[in-house]
Structure 1
Amino acid sequence: MRDLRGQLATNTIRNYLTTLKTLHQYGPALTGHGLRSDPWAGKSARKASHTAKGAVVSTPAIPPEQWFPLIRSAWTYVHTFAPDILRAQQRYQELVDKATLVGDHDVRLDRYLADPTNPIPVHAEAGHNPGRVHWSLLTLMIGSDHSRRSNVFRRNMSTGGQRITRVKKAVAQGHPTTTGIIDDLVLVEHSNGTSASWHPGLDPRALGFERCMLRNACYVLVVGLSMMRDSEIHEIAPGSIVDYYGTPAIKSTKRKHDPGLPIKHWWITAPVAEAVVVAEQLSTRPDRLFPPLLRHHAAVSRSDQMLDAFTAHVNATSARTGLQQIPPGQIRPHMFRRTMAMLTDQFPGSEIALGIQLKHIASRALANHSTQGYANADGSWAGHLESAIEVARFRRLEDLYQEHKAGKPIGYGPGAEQMTQIFDDLQHSVRARAGDASVERALLRKARISIRFGVLNHCVMDENNPAGAACLENAVVPQGHKGPLHDRCRPDRCPNSVIGPEHVPIWASERRNLLTLIATPGVSTCRREALQRELSAVESVLDKTEGEKEQP
């Protein structure tokens, strides 16, 4: 259990403890007598596993300073470095397939050295005497078997020594050399303005290692961006990308809480699909997308080791790959699921989508308490999310200002009039200073315009002066709350409401729907009166659009 604490969430460990305690409790009734003793006697499974009470998910989110460099590094490997690794893998396999143990090695060597386009492989890594001939790879390149049985360049044989001398002489005379199975690797830009190959040379040893790192990068993208459980990812087989309700998805087996092991689908984005396609070309088994590439006797790869190895490799090679260093800190598979759920929850109405993608099935709209727990905000992301939201808000404000400059209406109602006045004043200031676009942008940012963009309207309420806000009338404002109360918004009569051109079709559609319902035979009097009140509010909003024509 101590080993599992570093790999699994506390809730999962609690389930294991519950099973073990149950085996002890019902031991007398079991054929094998269960467990003789309870290692956690006197403690509940919850207390022994340090599981928090309630629906709060104890799994921490991956901090943004780790998340972004990790995901970017994985994407760079999958999208940029993968073509080189796969090309080297294919070339190496071709050499192995053509190699033979028997034959005239001298003739092969002569023929190889006679062609200057055939490079002599040399070691590139500092730990292998850089510049020294890579005899094993050269054996393979001339078409001979490079196993231990090969004696092509064996030093304790006269023929082997003679061949070594000929090769060294060719190198000394300027015969072209190479540091890997293939040349022309992708170039990466460095901070000092120079560019170089991302790897010094993909020889067989380096290729095997980079294949593992590429496999690990594929895993990072799948576990990071799909919200699949680790067990579900290891059930993915090659060829599992399918079309599910018109959208690309991965099919896999859901094990948790499902004894029937049903096949489920997870919708995916383009980066995940690309990672799966690359992983399929690395997989050595027809039933596993992520099998062990070195420990062939093992059933599945150790996900925690894959993550640790990839992080360590990125940090160790960042000087040549140009990848950003990943700060130290434990990263485990279940933390990706928690992080993506938390990020997705920043979008309105995301709970149902989260419930579907996380496979939290319940009668309440396909989501349950676990869904809410996964989506809870994380303190380490607070500053980043606030900055991201502020950047997105300012970008939309800029678009609104540019539309005003172009003479287009930015909206209707008292709130729009406030915005128009602010934009007019800003334009006067820019002209008075003879400023350019950069001055204009700086003044717009300095203006600190209070605006919240919405689907049905925008709100320009000033938190420091909320007088007149309809949502605050006769309302009990929660302690510490600032800003509007969105669930009490009244676009029909609030002076802070802005009805944008993009909102008008929505309100017009609502009016048509209400008119249809009111005209429906059999509607009760009280229901019709309620619909009339709703219609009055909608028409009040549309009246502010100054005659905006309703689309049929």
Structure 2
Amino acid sequence: MTNPPQPQTWPALTGFDPDEPVLPADRRVTDGPDPRFGDLPRWDLTASGLAPNLNAAQAHLRFDVYPDGWVPVAKTLAMAMLQPVHPVVRQAGIYRSNRPYKLKSIRHVLTELRYLAEWAATAGLSEELSAWTHADGEAYLASRKARSFSAGRSANDLLRHLGDFRGLLPNGGLSVQVSPWAARSSGEVKTPVIPPETFWPLVRACWTYIDTFAADITAARDEITLLDTRGPKYREVRPSTRDIDDALDAWLSSPEAFVPLHIYTLGRARAGDINWDGLGLCTTPGLSGTNFYGNRGPARQLRVRQAIGQGVPTRYGYSSVQPAAVERPDSTHGPWISGFDRIIVSKELTQLRNAAYIFVAIMTMMRDSEVQSLATGAIGTHYGAPAVTSTLHKMQPHGGTPQRWWVSEPVVTALKVAEQITLDENRLFGAVRESVHRDLTGFDQYEQIRSFVAWVNDHSPQNGLERIPATPLAPHMFRRTMAVITANEPDGEIALGITLKHNAVRALANATTSGYAAPTPEWAKEFEHHAKEAAAGELVADWARHAQGDHALRGPGATTFANGLADITDRAKTTVAIGNERMLRALLRDEFATIRLGTLNHCLGDPAKALCLEGASAAVKAGGPIPSMCQPATCRNSVITDQHLPIWLREESDLVDKLKDKRMAPVHRQRLETQLADVRKITHQEPK
């Protein structure tokens, strides 16, 4: 094995050109500004594609929040994270994953950098990070850990980034060595579960809106829209005073006459007062609410009140739609709402949109960004079952990746209701009303979930819905709660697997379908090629660390993996100049053609070494290792990198804590001790 190249052998750093585009052309997935490295005070990265559940401000990276000396550090960090395969980054000898960081991750790092700059000013340290000592880094980390668990983790992440990218940073980089974050974990999922007393009333309220109220709300909306077309703003000739009085008298003396009342208090409108705008829409031709004010207004108002006194009925709202009758919690029976007018229809349309959003998020277990990516026309079928097409954003390139989710018939109903009320064909859960004051393209999901609960409770029991307890709610809690429910119902794990089909749709489809849906050998090779290319891109970071003398590999397969990386280093010297990203990936792809990258370990994929295939038939072995039967601590295919190690350290810590229980049954203690011994084969192993 040859000696790995030393960092000082890399070409001299030239830095980023001030006119360098922050976003490469292939990363611009939508319209937006084209920021340059030298731009101040911010970079607007809208063109990179923002998940629909994020607001436009979250596409901005601001640099006017740092002291002047820290601005180059912030911009260089951001640029390197946005373009990890940029020639300048490679020339600096930095080989991390070729996958660009998400905007959220970059914003997180830059926010922590502000705290570091503030702490440095207090501690009397300059922005020249190369002058900092290891004790300085440890002091900052300790100060953040003392604040909170999350602050300590953020500080650890920032110091590691500064160390990883030190070859790029102006004035030299930070040479402080920071260990991987290995926080103790209880093993519990941190996302709260919605209590049953809140969850079931919420689901029932959403479905009632979708299944019962939606028809009334949309019918009233359509009717009021039609009435508006008969109003004065659509007439070319302005009616005379006599025409207005005749129209009012004709309406008040007609058999179908009524006087509409306000349903909702808003602005100058008071619930129970006469709705003059609504009355104007009832007449023929339609009048304006202003016709009941001014010089002739008092006399007309008097005639209306006299007509009420003479027997003309009043009615809440002015739509002819008769609300559906509901059974109320107090056993009474009656309409779910008193009537419809413009204000109440606008309010109810918003809550109908909220009900559909909550119901879809719960019943599909899609993430918030995925639900908000749904557009009109998303409903279809996949292998004969109802499915929707949306965009998967998590762990995907900028702009996301189209994906299908199988859904149930009630979800299809909810989505069809959402299609009827959205104003933007690209946003099924966007704005449902127009505004001249601001661009209402989307909605704040947290605010609107609270709004729906409050609206239901404010109108219970008339609406037939039981009150929903005031519990903190968020989209990620819907997914967590449904996971708990499906796991505890009969056949729940099967149901959960079907619901979470976006994690295994291709495997499931290939196993259960044939004919036209079966891939040809050529396409099968294409899919395998893309998988190998992706794996090679991730291995670039492992190769770079090994080539620079950073030995952090563990596991029974560590020596084999290290020898393969060393072989790549040798071939890179003789066949291609180091820094040629494309050729480097090709070498890695060929060397590790069977590798599978995982959360707990990497599997080298050699059937002859796989414990999971011991005793298996030749046909089974031909399919390669079986991930679900992996034994990472003992299989000769298993490789543990520094990315995997924190998980093993947490597992070791958890097992040690559990074994402190002196009341534990001997059989359970023996099982945990065996597990601990296996884990320590990794954590106590000398890195290769």
- Which interval holds the TM-score relative to the shorter structure? 0.5 to 0.7
2:327 maps to 189
1:78 maps to 210
Instruction: Determine if contact 2:325/2:334 at 8 Å carries over to the other structure.
Output: yes
Q: Hey, what's the Cα distance between the residues in 1 that align with 2:495 and 2:340?
A: 47
Q: Hey, what's the Cα distance between the residues in 1 that align with 2:114 and 2:506?
A: 36
Q: Hey, what's the Cα distance between the residues in 1 that align with 2:473 and 2:407?
A: 22
Distance 1:46 1:365, change over 3 A: farther
1:265 aligns to what SS in structure 2?
A: strand
1:354 maps to 497
Deviation at 1:196, TM superposition (A): 2.2
2:466 maps to 324
2:461 aligns to what SS in structure 1?
A: helix
Normalised TM-score (structure 2): 0.46
Distance 1:108 1:235, change over 3 A: same
Distance 1:236 1:29, change over 3 A: closer
Instruction: Determine if contact 2:365/2:500 at 8 Å carries over to the other structure.
Output: yes
2:301 maps to 164
Equivalent position to 2:151, from 45, 48, 51: 48
Distance 1:240 1:59, change over 3 A: same
1:98 aligns to what SS in structure 2?
A: coil
Instruction: Determine if contact 1:55/1:369 at 8 Å carries over to the other structure.
Output: no
Equivalent position to 2:310, from 169, 173, 183: 173
Instruction: Determine if contact 2:365/2:499 at 8 Å carries over to the other structure.
Output: no
Instruction: Determine if contact 1:100/1:143 at 8 Å carries over to the other structure.
Output: no
CA deviation map 1:34-84 (0-9, x unaligned): 949352651589743888748753212211111100000111111111111
Deviation at 1:345, TM superposition (A): 2.3
1:307 maps to 449
Instruction: Determine if contact 1:122/1:179 at 8 Å carries over to the other structure.
Output: yes
Equivalent position to 1:121, from 242, 255, 260: 260
CA deviation map 1:146-189 (0-9, x unaligned): 76xx53211x312x233222222221111233212234211222
1:498 maps to none
Q: Which residue identity does 2:476 align to in structure 1?
A: H
Q: Hey, what's the Cα distance between the residues in 2 that align with 1:363 and 1:115?
A: 66
CA deviation map 1:411-445 (0-9, x unaligned): xxxxxxxxxxxxxxxxxxxxxxxxxxxxxxxxxxx
Q: Hey, what's the Cα distance between the residues in 2 that align with 1:243 and 1:320?
A: 39
Alignment partner of 1:221 is 2:362 = no
Distance 1:57 1:139, change over 3 A: same
Q: Hey, what's the Cα distance between the residues in 2 that align with 1:358 and 1:61?
A: 22
Q: Hey, what's the Cα distance between the residues in 1 that align with 2:426 and 2:211?
A: 24
1:252 maps to 390
Instruction: Determine if contact 2:217/2:349 at 8 Å carries over to the other structure.
Output: yes
Instruction: Determine if contact 1:352/1:365 at 8 Å carries over to the other structure.
Output: no
Q: Aligned pair count?
A: 355
Equivalent position to 2:370, from 223, 232, 238: 232
Alignment partner of 1:59 is 2:167 = no
2:425 maps to 286
CA deviation map 1:453-477 (0-9, x unaligned): xxxxxxxxxxxxxxxxxxxxxxx97
1:135 maps to 276
Alignment partner of 1:106 is 2:245 = yes
CA deviation map 1:346-384 (0-9, x unaligned): 344736953872634699989x999xxxxxxxxxxxxxx
Q: Which residue identity does 1:236 align to in structure 2?
A: L
Distance 1:161 1:244, change over 3 A: same
Alignment partner of 1:275 is 2:395 = no
Distance 1:119 1:231, change over 3 A: same
Structure 1 gap ranges (5+) = 1-7, 9-15, 371-475, 480-552
Instruction: Determine if contact 2:386/2:408 at 8 Å carries over to the other structure.
Output: yes
Q: Hey, what's the Cα distance between the residues in 2 that align with 1:362 and 1:80?
A: 34
Mapping for residues 15-30 of structure 1, pairs under 5 Å:
28=76
Distance 1:237 1:49, change over 3 A: farther
2:482 maps to 340
Q: Which residue identity does 1:311 align to in structure 2?
A: V
Equivalent position to 1:241, from 379, 395, 415: 379
Deviation at 1:303, TM superposition (A): 0.6
Deviation at 1:138, TM superposition (A): 0.7
Normalised TM-score (structure 1): 0.56
Instruction: Determine if contact 1:52/1:58 at 8 Å carries over to the other structure.
Output: no
Instruction: Determine if contact 1:235/1:252 at 8 Å carries over to the other structure.
Output: yes
Q: Hey, what's the Cα distance between the residues in 1 that align with 2:491 and 2:350?
A: 39
Distance 1:35 1:227, change over 3 A: closer
Q: Hey, what's the Cα distance between the residues in 2 that align with 1:202 and 1:108?
A: 23
CA deviation map 1:18-44 (0-9, x unaligned): xx9xx9977556679994935265158
Deviation at 1:236, TM superposition (A): 0.7
1:87 maps to 219
Q: Hey, what's the Cα distance between the residues in 1 that align with 2:459 and 2:598?
A: 42
Distance 1:122 1:299, change over 3 A: closer
Q: Which residue identity does 2:303 align to in structure 1?
A: R
Q: Hey, what's the Cα distance between the residues in 1 that align with 2:329 and 2:492?
A: 42
Deviation at 1:248, TM superposition (A): 0.9
Q: RMSD of the alignment, in Å?
A: 4.1
1:263 aligns to what SS in structure 2?
A: strand
Q: Hey, what's the Cα distance between the residues in 2 that align with 1:106 and 1:310?
A: 42
Alignment partner of 1:39 is 2:177 = no
Q: Hey, what's the Cα distance between the residues in 1 that align with 2:426 and 2:278?
A: 32
1:264 maps to 403
Q: Hey, what's the Cα distance between the residues in 2 that align with 1:201 and 1:365?
A: 49
Distance 1:52 1:123, change over 3 A: farther
Instruction: Determine if contact 1:315/1:324 at 8 Å carries over to the other structure.
Output: yes
2:460 aligns to what SS in structure 1?
A: helix
2:211 aligns to what SS in structure 1?
A: helix
Instruction: Determine if contact 2:424/2:431 at 8 Å carries over to the other structure.
Output: no
Deviation at 1:211, TM superposition (A): 1.2
2:115 aligns to what SS in structure 1?
A: coil
Deviation at 1:284, TM superposition (A): 1.1
Deviation at 1:235, TM superposition (A): 0.9
Instruction: Determine if contact 1:117/1:176 at 8 Å carries over to the other structure.
Output: no
1:325 aligns to what SS in structure 2?
A: coil
1:297 maps to 439
Distance 1:30 1:230, change over 3 A: closer
Q: Hey, what's the Cα distance between the residues in 2 that align with 1:49 and 1:208?
A: 46
Q: Hey, what's the Cα distance between the residues in 2 that align with 1:249 and 1:362?
A: 12
Instruction: Determine if contact 2:406/2:501 at 8 Å carries over to the other structure.
Output: no
Q: Hey, what's the Cα distance between the residues in 1 that align with 2:337 and 2:256?
A: 22
Distance 1:248 1:171, change over 3 A: same
Q: Hey, what's the Cα distance between the residues in 1 that align with 2:204 and 2:217?
A: 18
1:116 aligns to what SS in structure 2?
A: coil
1:323 aligns to what SS in structure 2?
A: coil
Distance 1:193 1:97, change over 3 A: same
Structure 2 gap ranges (5+) = 1-52, 54-60, 66-70, 82-108, 117-139, 154-182, 510-596, 600-665, 670-688
